């Protein structure tokens, strides 16, 4: 290499670096100003004009330093050099800022300019004549890309805190526990650990919901006849099979519900229950239909739309819309899936508040209380400034709940990371981080 060529190499790399150090930051600021004044069209218009201006200037640099580039001395080669340095350099520049943003470092303007010029200088270095210079630029590029990938792949503390804020989660009240025979339904930390709700692992261990609804419909709104009996268009049991029964009743059933539609005065009253409700209970309800009394309405006004039934083992309450009555088992221990569900919760306090307005509250150890309410029970344990509670439906063994509250512990950051939602991808850097974490 002659004495002039080192000067040309240095001039070419300096000119390319100056684009990232000075020109691109200036253009990006103008783009932001244009966006405030003219919106997206102005933003992208300034960006396109800036890219053309940068590429044109670099083409002039390529021509002046043509003796040190592998793309030769043709005009096409100069343009290609300028386009490659502009495009790939800008990609590297954006990647570098994404890395700094991820780490959360505030960089001095002087160093920001130096760092911003490196990607452009490296791309120019890759296109130099002489394998030693190109190899050096290539090696440095690979090292920087690998370092950037590692930084973007890793979750940094600031990002983790943002995810916790997004989910409304606090470390002090985030606990984890594994309950044998149960599966987490939310706040799943993996490996059977959960920090919220739990359900029995076997589907056969979950009892079905039991409910019967009594709803009246206008006789004028008629749909398809079933066994000769018309069907109110907005009624339940509007599809499926039907069977005539003694006493003039028509039993209707499908894969989801079954029951009766009974004419009471000028109304069609539908008595429907889910598949788990016994046929006999629905028939007894259909035979006992009557306008709901004030006592049965519990303070609601009787508007002529409410009908009630006498169903042994069930208690009713007003529902709407449409207005009607819904009956559930009187036995609070039988509440469908909720009767076998378990929930872990943590709150601030000294533990005494858990005994307010409960059916039963007794102390069973230092800081440990058993609490029973109308349809669930469980244990509360005081741990410093927080109270850990594990409660379940009345069909859950108290020993299971006591063991769980004793074994509950603060969740680790790794466990929390499995359950926390990801931050929304607002920028190209966010999408790149998401892509890296999904694949590596």
- 308-354 pLDDT, tens per residue? 999 888 888 998 778 899 998 888 777 788 889 999 999 998 777 88
At 248-295, the pLDDT tens digits run 899 999 888 999 989 888 788 999 998 889 999 999 999 999 999 989
Domain ranges within the chain, ordered by starting residue: 4-153, 171-204+336-418, 212-329
In this predicted structure, what is the pLDDT of residue 4?
56
| Structure tokens belonging to residue 118 | 């490196």
- Architecture label for domain 171-204+336-418: 3-Layer(aba) Sandwich (3.40)
d(Cα 293, Cα 305) in Å, to the nearest integer?
Answer: 12
Q: What average pLDDT does this structure show over 125-137?
A: 88
- On the question of pLDDT at 60 being above 80, the answer is yes
Please tell me the distance from the alpha carbon of residue 390 to that of residue 340, in angstroms, as a whole number: 13
Going by the DSSP 8-state scheme, the letter that residue 352 receives in this structure is G
Angstrom distances, CA of residue 191 to CA of 153, 171, 238, 409: 23, 20, 45, 15
Q: Give the separation between CA 84 and CA 121, rounded to whole angstroms.
A: 11
What sign does the dihedral 179-185-189-194 (CA atoms) show?
negative
pLDDT digits (tens, 9 = 90+) for 11-59: 888 888 888 888 888 888 888 888 887 888 888 888 888 888 888 888 8
Task: Supply the pLDDT for residue 220.
Answer: 56
Tens digit of pLDDT for each residue in 200-252?
A: 987 677 888 888 999 988 765 566 678 888 777 667 888 889 999 988 899 99
User: Residue 186 has which token pair?
Assistant: 């939310």
Q: Where are the alpha helices (DSSP H) in 154-291?
A: 157-167, 279-287
């Amino acid at each position: 290499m002659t004495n002039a060529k080192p000067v040309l190499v240095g001039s070419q790399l300096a000119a390319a670096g100056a684009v990232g150090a000075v020109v691109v930051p200036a253009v990006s600021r103008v783009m932001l100003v244009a966006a405030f004044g003219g919106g997206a069209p102005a933003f992208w218009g300034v960006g396109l004009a800036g890219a053309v201006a940068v590429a044109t200037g670099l083409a002039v640099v390529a021509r002046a330093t043509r003796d040190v580039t592998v793309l030769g001395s043709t005009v096409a080669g100069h343009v290609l050099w300028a386009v490659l340095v502009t495009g790939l350099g800008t990609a590297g520049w954006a990647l570098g800022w994404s890395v700094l943003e991820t780490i959360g470092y505030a960089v001095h303007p002087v160093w920001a300019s130096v760092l911003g010029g490196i990607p452009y200088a490296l791309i120019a270095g890759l296109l130099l004549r002489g394998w030693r210079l190109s190899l050096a630029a290539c090696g440095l590029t690979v090292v920087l890309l690998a370092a950037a990938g590692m930084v973007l792949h890793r979750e940094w503390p600031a990002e983790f805190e943002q995810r916790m804020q997004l989910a409304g989660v606090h470390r002090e009240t985030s606990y984890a526990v594994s309950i044998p025979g149960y599966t987490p339904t939310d706040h799943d930390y993996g490996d059977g650990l959960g920090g919220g709700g739990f359900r029995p692992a076997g589907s056969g261990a979950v009892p079905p919901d039991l409910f019967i609804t009594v709803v009246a419909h206008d006789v004028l709104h008629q749909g398809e006849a079933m066994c000769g009996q018309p069907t109110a268009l907005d009624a339940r049991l509007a599809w499926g099979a039907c069977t005539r029964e003694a006493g003039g009743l028509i039993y209707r059933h499908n894969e989801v519900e079954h029951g009766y539609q009974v004419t009471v005065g000028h109304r069609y009253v539908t008595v429907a229950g889910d598949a788990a409700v016994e046929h006999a209970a629905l028939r007894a309800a259909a035979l006992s239909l009557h306008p709901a009394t004030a006592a049965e309405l519990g303070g609601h006004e009787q508007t002529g739309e409410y009908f009630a039934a006498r169903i042994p083992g069930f208690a009713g309450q007003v529902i709407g819309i449409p207005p009607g009555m819904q009956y559930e088992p009187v036995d609070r221990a039988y509440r469908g899936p909720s009767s076998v569900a378990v929930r872990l919760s943590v709150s601030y306090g000294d533990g005494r508040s858990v005994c307010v307005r409960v059916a039963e509250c007794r102390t069973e150890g230092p800081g440990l209380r058993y609490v029973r309410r109308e349809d669930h029970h469980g244990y509360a344990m005081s741990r410093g400034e927080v109270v850990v509670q594990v409660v379940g439906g009345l069909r859950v063994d108290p020993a299971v709940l006591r063991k769980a509250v004793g074994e509950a512990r603060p969740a680790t950051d790794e466990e929390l990371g499995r359950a926390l939602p990801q931050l929304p991808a607002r920028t190209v850097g966010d999408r790149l981080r998401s892509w890296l974490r999904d694949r590596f």
